């Protein structure tokens, strides 16, 4: 009987300890995000050139740095429909009430739009934020076209992407929300098809 009470006591203590650690973590992370908010809102101008090798879909491509290293790049703050049947396409279909075929059809349109903007051989310029890589090892970046426009913003403004903000990479989140709102109101790109 005493062993059962001790076991329950340790479980309760462990539970409280985990809650305390999580609370401290989120408080510290929140403070870091608040500090970043002021500093992160400014464009630092630090951009690294990279030559496009292959476009995978509307928000992901491969590029080569001047030293020959190749990386897979995921655009920060946006999401385009999947252009292939995969787990995310099925999740998106379930979440949106659309068929997987419809998700993939829209994804192919977004991919084609991105390919027109950054065909292989195009030199783009990468700007990073706080978190450099996602859980899949892709480099997270704001991508600038040769004419100076930000690809992330162009995709939103033309209606081929939706806002997908994941802290701590929030530097342009407010601008992105406004671009999406305007594209949706004007029925641009995929919005005219009920994105």
Give a three-class secondary structure readout of the chain. Answer: CHHHHHHHHHHHHHHHHHHHHHHHHHHHHHHHHHHHHHHHCCCCCCCEEEEEEEEEECCEEEEECCCCCEEEEEECEEECCCCCCCHHHHHHHHHHCCCHHHHHHHHHHHHHHHHHHCCCCCEEEEECCCCCECCCCCEEEEEECCCCCEHHHHHHHCCCCEEECECCECCCHHHHHHHHHHHHHHCCHHHHHCC
Catalytic residue among 82, 127, 153, 158: 82
Catalytic residue among 74, 98, 115, 171: 74
Is residue 82 annotated as a catalytic residue, yes or no?
yes
Is residue 74 annotated as a catalytic residue, yes or no?
yes
Is residue 138 annotated as a catalytic residue, yes or no?
yes
Catalytic residue among 98, 115, 138, 171: 138
Q: Which residues are tagged catalytic?
A: 74, 82, 138
């Amino acid at each position: 009987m005493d062993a059962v009470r001790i076991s329950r006591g340790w479980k309760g203590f462990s539970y409280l300890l985990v809650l305390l650690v999580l609370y401290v973590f989120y408080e510290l992370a929140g403070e870091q995000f608040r500090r970043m908010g002021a500093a992160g809102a400014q464009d630092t101008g630090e951009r690294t050139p990279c030559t496009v090798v292959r476009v995978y879909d509307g928000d992901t491509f491969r590029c080569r740095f001047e030293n020959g290293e190749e990386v897979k790049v995921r655009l920060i703050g946006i999401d385009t429909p999947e252009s292939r049947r995969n787990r995310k396409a099925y999740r998106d279909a379930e979440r949106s009430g659309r068929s997987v075929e419809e998700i993939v059809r829209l994804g192919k349109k977004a991919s084609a739009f991105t390919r027109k903007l950054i065909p292989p051989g195009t030199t783009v310029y990468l700007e990073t934020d706080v978190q450099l890589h996602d859980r899949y090892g892709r480099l997270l970046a704001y991508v600038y076209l040769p004419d100076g426009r930000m690809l992330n913003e162009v995709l939103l403004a033309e209606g081929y992407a939706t806002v997908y903000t994941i802290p701590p990479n929030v530097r342009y989140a407010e601008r992105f929300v406004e671009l999406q709102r305007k594209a949706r109101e004007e029925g641009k790109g995929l919005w005219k098809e009920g994105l």
